[in-house]
Amino acid sequence: MIDNDIKRISRLTAILTQLQTKRLVTASWLSGKFGVSIRTIYRDIKALEQAGVSILTEEGKGYALMEGYKIPPVMFTEGEANALILAEQLVLKNKDASLIKEYSEAINKIKAVLRSDVKDKANLLSDRTRNSLNLNSERTSNSLTTLQFALTNYFQVKMEYTNEAGELTDRIVEPFALLSTENWLLVANCRLRKEFRFFRLDRITRLEMLSEKFTPHKMTLQEYFDHYH
């Protein structure tokens, strides 16, 4: 279901792009381009119209955007952009090559309309996130979006953390990267231990983003792996 929804969103975005760049497009041409039935294209056009896109149907010729119609600029908050980056990581794990291609193109279009500061942060987060998360696993944390923001804005984070021995400790950390296997993991420079550590998000019992910033760590995630593993 998730894959179908993502495919449709990607296709609707691409159809809208075609309408912007061509004077007329036919249902049969769109059907061939996207590998779906003409009936599906009819439904997609109707969905775009219901979303407020002014589409003209020229009988026997095809579809066109109403003259003078401009698609309003899309503005994403930093949190929304971060959520899209995470969704991109999930899609990249899919085994359907066409889905990956279409979604990646859609994400690139979305990134193109981000404000430059949000775009830089979104790209940083993309570089610092690795995802092999099981989509069927239960939700085990609610800290991810706060940590995404702290990571891209270089804010220190204070947290109550339960280690493997069951001991509760207070930590102040500098978020560096987010990884996932069976659980989400935070890679951070721990001010208490004075070294980089892994922290499982499901073991964080309390989280607070501090106003104090830290100096950005210049190494890439791959350089971290090469150096510490």
Q: Which of 56-70, 96-110, 162-176, 204-218 has the lowest mean pLDDT?
A: 96-110
pLDDT digits (tens, 9 = 90+) for 85-102: 777 776 666 555 656 677
Rounded Cα gap, residues 67 and 51, in angstroms: 18
Tell which residue, 188, 177, 186, has the closest CA to residue 222.
177
Q: Which two tokens stand for residue 20?
A: 């912007």
Residues 6+ positions from 12 with CB-CB distance below 8 Å: 44, 47, 48
Q: Lowest-pLDDT range, 50-59, 60-69, 136-145?
A: 136-145
Q: Which domains does the chain have, with CATH numbers?
A: 2-65 (1.10.10.10), 78-127 (no CATH), 144-228 (2.30.30)
Among 17-31, 62-76, 194-208, the range with the most confident prediction by mean pLDDT is 194-208
User: What mean pLDDT is predicted for residues 1-13?
Assistant: 68
Task: State the DSSP code for 167.
Answer: -
Interatomic CA distance for residues 124 and 181, integer angstroms = 20
Lowest mean pLDDT, pick from 12-26, 178-192, 193-207, 214-228: 12-26
First to last CA, the chain: 38
Residue 1: pLDDT band (50, 70, 90) is very low
The residue ranking higher by pLDDT, 198 or 181, is 198
Nearest Cα residue to 182 out of 224, 133, 226: 133
193 pLDDT higher than 60: yes
221 closest CA partner among 175, 161, 153, 167: 175
Give the C-alpha distances (Å, rounded to integers) separating 217 from 7, 143, 180, 188: 36, 21, 21, 10
Cα distances (Å, whole numbers) of residue 153 to 9, 111, 123, 156: 30, 18, 13, 9
Average pLDDT in the chain: 81
pLDDT band at 207 (very low <50, low <70, confident <90, very high): very high
Q: Is the pLDDT of residue 222 over 80?
A: yes
* Dihedral class, residue 35 (left if φ above 0, else alpha if ψ from -120 to 50, else beta): left
pLDDT digits (tens, 9 = 90+) for 12-44: 878 887 887 777 889 999 999 888 999 999 999
What are the distances in angstroms from CA 58 to CA 25, 50, 63, 121, 223? 10, 18, 6, 43, 56
Model pLDDT, residue 3: 56
The predicted model gives 35-64 an average pLDDT of 87
Tell me what pLDDT residue 187 has: 95
